[in-house]
Structure 1
Amino acid sequence: MPDDLIYKIGITLIPKIGAVNGKQLIAHCGGVEAVFKESRNALGKIPNIGSVAISSIKNQQVFKRAEEEIKYIERNNITPLFYTSKDFPSRLSNCHDSPIMLYYKGNTPLNNRRVVSIVGTRRATSYGKEICNEICTHLKDYEVLILSGLAYGIDSCAHRSAIENGVSTVAVLGHGLHTVYPAQNRRLADKMMENGGLLTEFISNTKPDRENFPKRNRIVAGMSDAVIVVESGRKGGAIITADLGNSYNRDVFAVPGRSGDELSVGCNYLIRTNRAALIENGSNLTYFMGWEKSDVKTSVQQKLFVELNDDEQCVFDCVSQNKEISIDRISITTGIRPSIVASTLLKLEFEGMIKALPGKLFKKI
């Protein structure tokens, strides 16, 4: 385990800090260990860090609980993932409110070539399950990782269908890895360990409290190239996940249902309000995403000696230094307006220097 793991876990245990302020602290102090060694006076000058937070940072009880978690991690073969780790989900890291720490128990890389989340109601109908199964079956030839939340209904259906079709599947949990919720899905969770796993931002013994699940949903949306809502009422976790997917510039899809059906109201609403594109099966999804079954990659010869202005060179350098990166992240890193970044990326893609990826990400060719 890394020597500084106690600090990485510790900062997530500070009350009222949260992921956004926590990362701000780390950046301001120059490292996670430095946060705890910074003086009270220096901490007080950091925006959004008040006296209560400073007292919590200086409270040694944080380290005691972090030490307990490290022992639990070691005993249970859990992989801790800090947000700067190369194994941390790269799509998720582009989201401003991504977690500082994740805890993963599984054998499938989280930075899969393609990631699709399938979500929906706990009270799935035979129609919803049939569509869910068809989508998962179709995706078996597309090198996809399927994400969901291990809840009853559509979530469980997506995980089971993925397993049956030999597709990797990971459940994102709203509690610690000490348990499985609902308990009836324990056997399903065990089966997922053969080609997938369980992922959470919560330390062990964190209960599945209601307020944890919107946090879970942002991970599901943030890790994905595409979010699919199969069945949903007007309100609920699936709609939250879809809205989060839109806020992260993910591709969001919904399966339509019969007018007036209680469990299709949410999907029809997403489609009607242009919050989701309509799909009826898996082939619709792969068509919209531009995914091909073949693994043969068409290479694009990069033009030599392309003349770039200062902004264009800056954007290209930023893309080159990352495995994949979003327009917003490029804008934040370079200080160049998003509109200029977007037009620059279009030119660079035309010149054969970069490639657009699903989920509105870009990478160097």
Structure 2
Amino acid sequence: MNQEQLHAFLTLQRIPNLGDTSIKRLINRFETPRQVLDQKKQVLLEVDGIGAHKLKEFYNKNHALEAEKELRFIEQNNISYSSFLDPEYPERLKHCIDGPILLFKRGTSNYGAKRVISIVGTRKVTTYGIEFIKRFIEDLAPLNPLIVSGFAYGVDINAHRVALDCGLETHAVLAHGLNQIYPKIHQKYVKSLESQGAFITDFWSSDNFDRTNFLRRNRIIAGISEATVVIESADKGGSLVTADIANSYNRDVFAVPGRPDDLQSLGCNNLIKSQQAQLITCAADLIYMLNWNIENTFKPVQKQLFASLNAEEESVFNFLEKKGKEQLDLIALNCNMPTFKIASILLNMELKGVVRPLPGKQFELA
């Protein structure tokens, strides 16, 4: 996309009352943003969903002047950008009717990752939540997923931190322009995230920072990902909005259960109870439900190489060698370990090529 087209996109984006959905409808009719701007009002009114109210500010020349200022900011700060018409624009986001017409990016990674998971949750994350995030992302790391979150307090920043520690790419979706960082205390993570991921947004540098921005930000988090995972949420909160949006996009939504009396788990428990999210207790659950093909990702190892198995893995191996195949819960019972721990152990053994999963959450030696 050249600068002339970018300026036209920015001009359209600045017109009040239009919105991303209406702009897409106009571009689909007239092919380019420049051609949309060149149309007469009576021609634009012929487009379905475009009424006089949406065109009230359409011909105000100030929008083009504001677009020029933002274009200079983009150039001066070496910011990457892509429109929904460009091949480099996130593929999953292209299928969201209200996805942004423009995305701005600062960082080194692109949108080409095959496996993209959004992790969201409360800002008041508990120790349980932090430990789950760490174990969950570490267990996913061999599959090299891209981790997306919102760079906020709590679950968000912990997801970014663990992803960085595991050498994974991570994208932070911001509720403001790329001229600032919020919260400021997270400034210390900026360089690491830019070198191993990216900050993305559809907000301008001149946009006011407002609480309502988070709702607009959440549609990108939900739309850019294959699945959204909610880790701790009160009965109300932005992460529940993200889950709702993800469901509206027909994406997978997962939630981590908690104790019934735990305030920070009420939202997750309600999502599961109302069947708006699938219950997961470990990374193995997500891998199974998303049908990620581990066999094509890892080279199997010979079973006799038991030096790579720890004591717990050997215990599981010995049980399966006698039993042949067994369900996850019964493996945990016979090996005298919690189900969540057995699930993690089995995932590691699967990655080593020692066991393989079967339908119905059963496992057998590979």
Return 5+ residue gaps in structure 1 as ranges.
Answer: 298-365
Amino acid at match of 2:30: C
- Look up the match of 2:23: 22
CA gap of 1:288–1:176, structure 2 versus 1, over 3 A, is same
Q: What is the rounded CA distance, in whole Å, between the counterparts of 1:78 and 1:65 in structure 2? A: 17
Contact 1:142 1:292 in 2 (8 A): no
Tell me if 1:269 matches 2:270: yes
Q: What is the rounded CA distance, in whole Å, between the counterparts of 2:207 and 2:184 in structure 1? A: 15
- Look up the match of 1:331: none
- C-alpha distance after superposition, 1:273-300 (max 9, x if no partner): 1111111111221122122445459xxx
What does 1:162-241 correspond to in 2, within 5 Å?
A: 162-241=163-242
- Look up the match of 2:75: 74
TM superposition shift of 1:162: 0.3
Q: What is the rounded CA distance, in whole Å, between the counterparts of 1:292 and 1:21 in structure 2? A: 39
Tell me if 1:285 matches 2:286: yes
TM superposition shift of 1:48: 3.3
Return 5+ residue gaps in structure 2 as ranges.
Answer: 299-366
- Look up the match of 1:253: 254
Amino acid at match of 1:13: R
When structure 1 is superposed on structure 2, of 199-208 and 113-122 the one drifting more is 199-208
Q: What is the rounded CA distance, in whole Å, between the counterparts of 2:219 and 2:226 in structure 1? A: 13
Contact 1:113 1:143 in 2 (8 A): no
Contact 1:171 1:199 in 2 (8 A): yes
Amino acid at match of 2:51: G
- C-alpha distance after superposition, 1:70-91 (max 9, x if no partner): 1111111111111111111100
- Look up the match of 2:62: 61
- Look up the match of 1:318: none
- Look up the match of 2:42: 41
Q: Secondary structure at the match of 2:116?
A: strand
The structure whose Rg is larger is: 2
TM-score, with structure 2 as normaliser: 0.78
- Look up the match of 2:130: 129
TM superposition shift of 1:56: 2.0
Amino acid at match of 1:60: K
Q: Secondary structure at the match of 1:56?
A: coil
TM-score, with structure 1 as normaliser: 0.79
- Look up the match of 1:91: 92
Amino acid at match of 2:271: L
- Look up the match of 1:12: 13
Contact 2:18 2:55 in 1 (8 A): no
Q: Secondary structure at the match of 2:198?
A: strand
When structure 1 is superposed on structure 2, of 23-32 and 220-229 the one drifting more is 23-32
Q: What is the rounded CA distance, in whole Å, between the counterparts of 2:136 and 2:113 in structure 1? A: 18
Q: Identity across aligned pairs (percent)?
A: 39
Amino acid at match of 1:159: H
TM superposition shift of 1:55: 4.3
CA gap of 1:296–1:191, structure 2 versus 1, over 3 A, is closer
